[in-house]
Amino acid sequence: DVKVTQSSRYLVKRTGEKVFLECVQDMDHENMFWYRQDPGLGLRLIYFSYDVKMKEKGDIPEGYSVSREKKERFSLILESASTNQTSMYLCASSLSGRGPDQPQHFGDGTRLSIL
């Protein structure tokens, strides 16, 4: 089975801090994704990457950046954390190059609180 591991389940940070969320997948997937999940809003895509060192903005990239230096690792960075970034963050990965039907595999999420 595909394993997507997010480094922290719960994280508490202070306003203005630089925050790193890490995600590692073990199935050699090309695509990786970062979402945030908020009640009533579902999942919203922040950034995704389809290859090492490649990144694309999703629907809500403001205030975030990403890094993908190795195929298995995709990091989400909050440059200067703000209280409106308090949320559940979900990482996902999927195969590419085999048609549009590859499901995404999700980690268990990081619940981030910004105080």
Partner 1 sequence: AQSVAQPEDQVNVAEGNPLTVKCTYSVSGNPYLFWYVQYPNRGLQFLLKYITGDNLVKGSYGFEAEFNKSQTSFHLKKPSALVSDSALYFCAVRDGTGFQKLVFGTGTRLLVSP
Query: What residues line the site for partner 1 (CB under 8 A)?
Result: 4, 9, 31, 33, 40-45, 48, 50, 56, 58, 90, 92, 94, 96, 99-109
- Cα separation, 114 vs 52, in Å, equals 30
| Cβ-based nearer residue to partner 1, 80 or 107 | 107
Tell me the closest approach of the beta carbon of residue 86 to partner 1, in angstroms.
16
For 40-67, the three-class secondary structure string (H helix, E strand, C coil) is CCEEEEEEEECCCCCCEECCCCCCEEEE
By C-beta, is 34 or 114 nearer to partner 1? Answer: 34
To partner 1, the closest distance from the beta carbon of 18 in angstroms equals: 25
Write down the least CB distance from residue 4 to partner 1, Å.
Answer: 7
User: By three-state DSSP, how is residue 85 classified?
Assistant: helix
Q: Can you list the alpha helix ranges (DSSP code H) found in the chain? A: none
